[in-house]
Amino acid sequence: MEFELSDRVQTVPPSGIRRFFEIAEERDDVISLGVGEPDFATPWAARDAAITSLEKGKTSYTANRGKRELREAIADYVADRFDLGYDPDEEIIVTAGASEAVDLAFRAFVNPGDTVAIAQPSYISYEPGVIFAGGEVLPVPTREEDEFRLTVEGLEEAGADEADVLVLCYPNNPTGAIMPAEDLEPIAEFAREHDLMVLSDEIYAELTYEGEHTSIATFEGMRERTIVFNGFSKAHAMTGLRLGYALGPAEAIGAMNKIHQYTMLSAPTTAQYAALEALDSCENDVREMVSQYDRRRQFVLSRFREIGMDVFEAKGAFYCFPEVPEGFTAEEFAEDVLREQGVAVVPGDVFGDVGEGHLRVSYATGLEDLREALARLEAFVEDHA
């Protein structure tokens, strides 16, 4: 018998990043600047707390919304770091990665036919998530001239005033763009004026290298229409532990929990112990990783400029987004540089059409490898000049 696949599954193309990993895996001399995860090990204290929890046999489910102690720690952390006030009992849900939280939100708030505006270039999971939920995607292009920040003009041009939901991700994957408070303010006003719900993925908030991260939920009238996503994968280098969370008004988080309690039950217990310790005692580890990312960022940006590739000043996350030299599409460049020089980068069009002509280059890799990778990129550009 042949499986009959659902239309929703068939509509979503396979991940564009995967293909490059497959080519990269064929050889052993590849330096990958393609990955979206920290190269650092999880801070020891967090790992130790996870081990201790296992030794003590703490391997049962937790409360659906996550351990209360962890929700309290998250409430304190987001209040302290980002000026966000959420009640641990009703307004926070702990999930299996921010990924689960994003998926829950699409399923809880998107009706078939609803329009979800997504600022692009964007993280690759939003569009499939909207389609799985039965919604329609409205891409809202951002422009390099605006430092890839979302603008009201961009929203208007795309017709986002008619949308039901707006998805934002700052600091941004894949561009490394940030949105300072003065640029977020008009976006908040637009959301209020057109009655948009905002899903704000702030998983890279700690990885902000200029100024302080501002959450759109802190603007007047925004808390009641915004869900904020965050997690432990990036700042705490805990990708494989799969732990994230969502913050929002009680009714909204309750709706997400309704799906979560039937589909996930609770986020991984061992990871919750690690996360509790991460918030409790790993602030210095985070500071140290952030300062190393920043050094790498400055190095990579300056090397691209030396090589003669245009690159905008990425100020957050761990990506930069240089322009592909003339004569190549993004995909051709990425494929050729991988085959000829053994450097893996991701073509920008994977993150939406507006990303064409760019590459996503991750600097979540040690400085030594970054040095070698940039030397190989330079050789490639010279060979093809």
Residue pair 171/147 in contact (Cβ under 8 Å)? The answer is: no
Q: Is the peptide bond before 174 cis (omega within 30 degrees of 0)?
A: yes
> Which residue's entry shows tokens 């040095």?
371
Residue nearest to ligand PMP (CB): 97
β-strands 165-169, 197-201 pairing = parallel
Nearer CB in complex with ligand PMP: 173/226: 173
Q: Which is nearer to ligand PMP, 123 or 219 (CB)?
A: 123
The answer to whether residues 380 and 337 touch, using CB atoms and an 8 Å cutoff, is yes
Residue number with CB closer to ligand PMP (259 or 375): 259
Output 341 or 362, the one with its CB closest to ligand PMP.
362
CA 21 to CA 32: how far, in whole Å?
9
Work out whether 169 is an interface residue with ligand PMP (CB under 6 A): yes
- Does 281 help bind ligand PMP (rule: CB under 6 A)? no
**Stretch touching ligand PMP by CB under 6 A, among 93-101, 156-164, 341-349, 361-369:** 93-101
Per CB under 6 A, 329 contacts ligand PMP: no
User: 150 by DSSP, 3-state: which?
Assistant: coil
**Lookup: tokens for 42:** 């999880």
- Using rule CB under 6 A, residue 357 touches ligand PMP: no
Q: Which residues of 184-200 are buried (b: 16+ CB within 10 A; e: fewer)?
A: beebbebbbebebbbbb
Give long-range contacts, CB 8 A cutoff, 24+ apart: 70-73.
70/94, 70/272, 70/275, 70/276, 70/279, 73/275, 73/276, 73/279, 73/280
Contact between 321 and ligand PMP by CB under 6 A: the answer reads no
Residue (239 or 292) nearer to ligand PMP, CB: 239
Shortest distance, position 129 Cβ to ligand PMP, whole Å: 10
Distances (CA, A) of 109 to 140, 165, 222, 308: 19, 8, 16, 45
200 binds ligand PMP (CB under 6 A): no
Residue 38 touching ligand PMP (CB under 6 A): no
Binding mask 121-150 for ligand PMP (x = CB under 6 A): --x---------------------------
Instruction: CB nearer to ligand PMP: give 84 or 275.
Output: 275
Residue 201 binds ligand PMP, judged by CB under 6 A: yes
Sheet with 319-320: strands ordered across: 319-320, 359-362, 346-347
Of 173 and 214, nearer to ligand PMP (C-beta) is 173
Q: Determine, following the binding rule CB under 6 A, whether residue 171 of this chain makes contact with ligand PMP.
A: no
The Cα angle at residue 248 between residues 160 and 214, in degrees rounded to 5: 70
Q: What is the DSSP letter of 146?
A: G
Q: In the complex, what is the shortest distance from the CB of residue 98 to ligand PMP, in angstroms, rounded to a whole number?
A: 4
Binding residues for ligand PMP restricted to 204-263, rule: CB under 6 A: 231, 233, 239, 244
If one asks whether residue 352 binds ligand PMP (CB under 6 A), the answer comes out as no
Closer residue to ligand PMP in complex, CB, 139/342: 139
Which one, 104 or 307, has the nearer CB to ligand PMP? 104
- Least Cα distance to 267 among 103, 125, 69, 97 occurs for 97
- Which run of H or of E encompasses 228? strand 226-231
Q: How far apart are CA 228 and CA 95, in angstroms?
A: 13
Check residue 175 for interaction with ligand PMP (CB under 6 A): no
Among 34, 36, 154, 357, binds ligand PMP (CB under 6 A): 36
* Contact code string over 96-115 relative to ligand PMP, x by CB under 6 A: -xxx----------------
- Contact set with ligand PMP (CB under 6 A): 36, 97-99, 123, 169, 173, 201, 203, 231, 233, 239, 244
